Structure formats: C-alpha cells, structure tokens
Amino acid sequence: MTKMRFLSRKIIKFSFDFSVSAIEKFYDMKPYNQKVEKLRELPKGTLGNDIAKILDENKVKLIPNYESHDLKHVLLNYGMNAEDEIRMQAFMLGNGNYTFPCIAILTFGTILLPGMWSTFYKDYKRGKNAKPISSWSIDKYAEIETNLLRYELSIQNQSKW
C-alpha cells in the first residue's frame, strides 16, 4: 500500500470516528444500546442479529439517526472500513440516495482514493440495478433472514465483513 493511500485511509477513519463520537456526545445512547441488545436476541441469520453481530465485531454502537446505515452495511455486505464505507455510499447514490452526507462522503472518498474510482463506479451501477432501499428501517426488517432480503433485492453478495 502506498503512503498516500495509507494516509488517505487514516484521514477518512479519523473523520468517521470524530463524527460518530460527536453524535454520541449529544444523544442519550441508552435506547440505542437497548435496541442492539434486542437485536442480539433475534435468531441467527436474521437482519437484526446480523446487524448486532457486525456492530459487536467492529466494536461500534448503533448511532442515533443513522440506524438504517448499519442495516445497509449488513444487507449490502460492505465492511465497516474506510473503503467499504465509501463504496456503500457509491451504491446508495446509484440507488437514489441524493442526501448531503452520501454525496459528501463519496466526494471526499473519490478525492482521497482516486485509485478506487472504477470500484466506486461499479458499486454505483450495482446500486442503480437494485431495488430502492433508502427508506428501509431496522424495525421493519430486523426479523427477516438477511439472505432472503438480498435475494429479493437481487443484490449480489460481493464484499466482505
């Protein structure tokens, strides 16, 4: 890995970590922690249990107002690292999510990781070809099997976590 790519990843990781810690300071995290406890109790293979699992594996919490974000990590099978975060935003932009955070993160990522432009474009096209998911919520889909949801959305299982 080149020094530039290493530095870019560090900048992206710092930005995400800073944003998350700022959000956590302004919210009562107790209801979100309780929600994750309930998700852990769901059967293995359900979207809810898989969300709790990825949060635990990455030592992160459910973030207020971004709960569906973690749903998308699991559903789309993108990891919780700098590159996969940006890849997921490319997918979501292709899927019709024209929000400021989505566009800002993708723009930031394309500037800092120019060597990944073709990958981001493939993810964008993947999002274009999938059914819209921007309105999906944990509450609505937590008890459904993750693989069934992926099949119904015609989402190819291509990344890792």
- Alpha-carbon dihedral 123, 8, 20, 120, rounded to 10 degrees: -10
pTM as predicted: 0.81
Q: Are 52 and 39 in contact (CB under 8 A)?
A: yes
CA 140, CA 158: separation in Å to the nearest integer? Answer: 24
pLDDT of residue 23: 73
Write the CB contacts of 24 (distance below 8 Å, at least 6 apart in sequence). 61, 63
3 state DSSP class of 46 = strand
Residue 104: which H helix or E strand, with range? helix 100-112
pLDDT of residue 134: 87
User: Could you list the pLDDT tens digit for every one of the 161 residues in the chain?
Assistant: 577 767 777 777 777 777 777 777 777 889 999 999 999 999 999 999 999 999 999 998 898 888 889 999 999 999 988 899 999 999 999 999 999 889 998 998 999 889 999 999 999 999 999 999 988 999 999 999 999 999 888 765 544 43
